[in-house]
Structure 1
């Protein structure tokens, strides 16, 4: 491929899918218990989320450095690739800006190489879907401008909702966005949110059962809107995720593109119990 695709670890797509489509990644960091650890190196999610339930335990997160990006970009440039780098929403992280700075620095050594940075305006499956769409375009031999245009079109078509147990994790992490108005009474309900730039409120329901039913109904809405490719993500809710997959198979009449658990960086801001559902037209994907 003349264009290489780079993303960051907050996509949480299964590694096998990411590798199959040749997407490279740069890791964000967790700052926890006086140590800083690459998110990509944290494999015991059960232990991490068990500690996160203690509200006095509040790990922070940080973006990759310019050097982290260059460690991925330089071998790609040396192999003759241009780069399209797709990242976590710029409204909630400086990752895209750091990628841009790394791209400018790369030009000093590789002046003939292009680096285009795309703000996914999303995270998790939203980010992952845009990255896979870019990989699909790159595999057909398209250039940087065409790959970026395809990724941006996919970003506009991709929709994701996520439901969480409480807004407390978003509040304490400072990522609450437009859901700020729900602080207070909403701590006793189940918020349903989306990410379009920043975190935006969608609906509030009273019980976990109603939350699940609303997410099932949303899958039907995705189909009506033209989505025929879908995916599920969760945090420490494998049984509910599996139940959601069963309902999704009935609605979409297909298997999900992927099902996976969200990792430490985004998980620190959402908390255990999260369920996410997303979909997009398959024409954008490999």
Structure 2
């Protein structure tokens, strides 16, 4: 069986080492901006690192943001593989937070007409950051085992809502600027030291589920949701320039649960522009809050 190609985008927050080790065939860089200057987010962080972004956010009043993906950039990445005669599976950023997947689906419709002899599937993961990466790894293993592109697509569709994301942000102002919180809520919440506990629902959208005060309560609140995990063989902790907070979250989890492996990652600039530095999250396979 011909090996199908896997395409990912910046939302997966893969390092260059991970990208190479999994033999990912194509990459779509998503953009972010600082004071109007646009950057593209790549696994090797060639244009700007996440740490540089977070340092800027901590030390200046820079205006940051993201924009709609460039359809031409998506088309170039997909068509380059179709030209080689490959079937293509694009594992995309949640449509609940970005227009990337919708743009890719429109591009794919056109490409299927131009390459009728090949298969091209775009999967809306309804996931972000290491949640996307958690789906990519099993698909890579399935491909190595010789499964078809249809089997891989179907597995993604069947399992994408099993990826649970529980998140806390450090500065409510970033959520306000991103349209996720009212101005009054941001000001009052920051003054009182209130931290929202947010999850990604079954539509791939961020929903505030509770609010706590103080970092220790944040760690406990995030850890508590591991009760919804299918198993604790592997869980993921990701952070935005907050490695010490990520370790403290891991310590809280270990005190309450018997976890097999904890995998750490850094939140990339595309999502980090909206959550801001200090964000921490735990991700695992289980039952999303609105699917209970």
Category of TM-score, reference length = shorter chain: 0.7 to 0.9
Q: How does 1:59-208 map to 2 (within 5 A)?
A: 59-174=64-179, 176=180, 183=185, 185-187=188-190, 188=192, 189-196=194-201, 197-208=204-215
Deviations, residues 191-215 of structure 1 (Å, cap 9, x unaligned): 1101222111122111111111222
Gaps of 5+ in 1: 282-286
Check if 1:32 corresponds to 2:37. Answer: no
CA distance in 2 between counterparts of 1:180 and 1:74 reads: 42
Q: Deviations over 1:7-59 (max 9, x none)?
A: 21011133322322223321111122332211223443333112223674221
Deviation at 1:229, TM superposition (A): 1.8
Distance 1:63 1:72, change over 3 A: same
TM-score computed with the length of structure 1 as normaliser: 0.85
2:239–2:246 CA contact under 8 A, matched in 1: yes
Task: Show the counterpart of 1:284.
Answer: none
Deviates more, 1:36-45 or 1:246-255: 246-255
Task: Structure 2 unaligned segments of length 5 or more: list them.
Answer: 287-292
- Could you list the per-position Cα deviations for residues 130-180 of structure 1 after superposition, in whole angstroms to 9, with x for gaps in the alignment? 232332333333333321110122212211101112332122122x2xx66
How many matched pairs?
275
- TM-score normalised to the size of structure 2? 0.84
The list of structure 1 runs, each at least 4 consecutive aligned residues, that deviate by more than 6 angstroms after superposition, is none
CA root-mean-square deviation: 2.5
